[in-house]
Amino acid sequence: MAQENRRQEQGRRVSTGEVERVNVQDARREVESGRALLVCAYDDAKCARVRLQGSITARELGEREASLPREQELIFYCA
């Protein structure tokens, strides 16, 4: 059984054992439908070089966090 790492982040429990991989086609469909946000996992400088259409930076996610619905799906990517 894989050990689940749990930590507290801004009052919410985050379980790294619940991370799900998604293929490109499913990610695109979820983002285009508005059900998910595509988030670049790098800092702003690297995101500028590898940014995908329709994505936001981790910094932008932090700025928008308070206004996002709790059930908002987030898809992080790295290149």
pLDDT, average across residues 3-31: 65
The answer to the question of residue 1 being in a domain is: no
Give the least confident one: 19-28, 54-63, 64-73.
19-28
Kindly report, residue by residue over 37-50, the tens digit of the pLDDT: 999 988 888 888 88
The answer to the question of residue 16 being in a domain is: no
Q: Which residue has the higher pLDDT, 52 or 2?
A: 52
The answer to the question of residue 6 being in a domain is: no
For residue 37, give its domain range: 21-77
Number of residues assigned to the chain: 79
pLDDT, average across residues 12-30: 76
- Considering only CA atoms, which of 53, 51, 61 is closest in space to residue 32? 53
pTM, full prediction: 0.70
How many domains does the chain contain in total? Answer: 1
d(CA 60, CA 54): 12
The answer to the question of residue 73 being in a domain is: yes
The answer to the question of residue 5 being in a domain is: no
